[in-house]
């Protein structure tokens, strides 16, 4: 398994009230779709072996949020994907921190058509 079921359940609990429309296994992990749009993802970082969250925050929020605890730019192919961030496990271990990142992803999800 390329993601933690425990972490997936934590995310599901938060997205269940936000029109979670699908879960898709892709990019080596699990992607959560809200309103049929990619919102949050979960996988295990191959370099560290720890859980990693992917949040879609939008380009406008990217620069402000990249400096938060555990956050870093998402880079799969050698090119930064602006509007998406990776959050290392120390950035979403606490309930408060996970709530913060889920809310940032949901805020952007509500903004896009």
State the average pLDDT over residues 50-74.
95
State the average pLDDT over residues 59-66.
94
Does residue 1 surpass a pLDDT of 60? no
Residue 78's domain spans which residues? 5-111
Cβ neighbours around 97 below 10 Å, total:
17
Q: What is the CATH number of the domain that holds 88?
A: 3.90.1150.30
Residue 81 structure tokens: 């994907």
Query: Residue 2: which pLDDT band, with cuts at 50, 70 and 90?
Result: confident
Does residue 81 surpass a pLDDT of 60? yes
**How many folded domains does the chain comprise?**
1
State how far the alpha carbon of 42 is from the alpha carbons of 65, 71, 85, 101, in Å. Answer: 18, 14, 12, 12
DSSP-derived secondary structure letter, 101: H
Q: Where are the alpha helices (DSSP H) in 1-113?
A: 5-15, 59-65, 95-111
Nearest to 14 by CA among 86, 106, 87: 106
Question: Would you state the pLDDT for residue 113?
Answer: 65
């Amino acid at each position: 398994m390329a993601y933690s079921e425990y972490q997936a359940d934590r995310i599901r609990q938060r997205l269940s009230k936000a029109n979670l429309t699908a879960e898709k296994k892709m990019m080596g992990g699990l992607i959560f779709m809200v309103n049929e749009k990619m919102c949050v993802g979960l996988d295990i970082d191959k370099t560290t072996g720890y859980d990693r969250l992917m949040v879609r925050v939008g380009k406008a929020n990217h620069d402000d949020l990249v400096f938060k605890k555990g956050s870093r730019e998402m880079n799969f192919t050698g090119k930064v994907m602006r509007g998406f961030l990776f959050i290392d496990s120390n950035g979403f271990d606490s309930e408060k921190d996970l709530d913060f990142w889920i809310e940032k992803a949901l805020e952007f999800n509500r903004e896009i058509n």
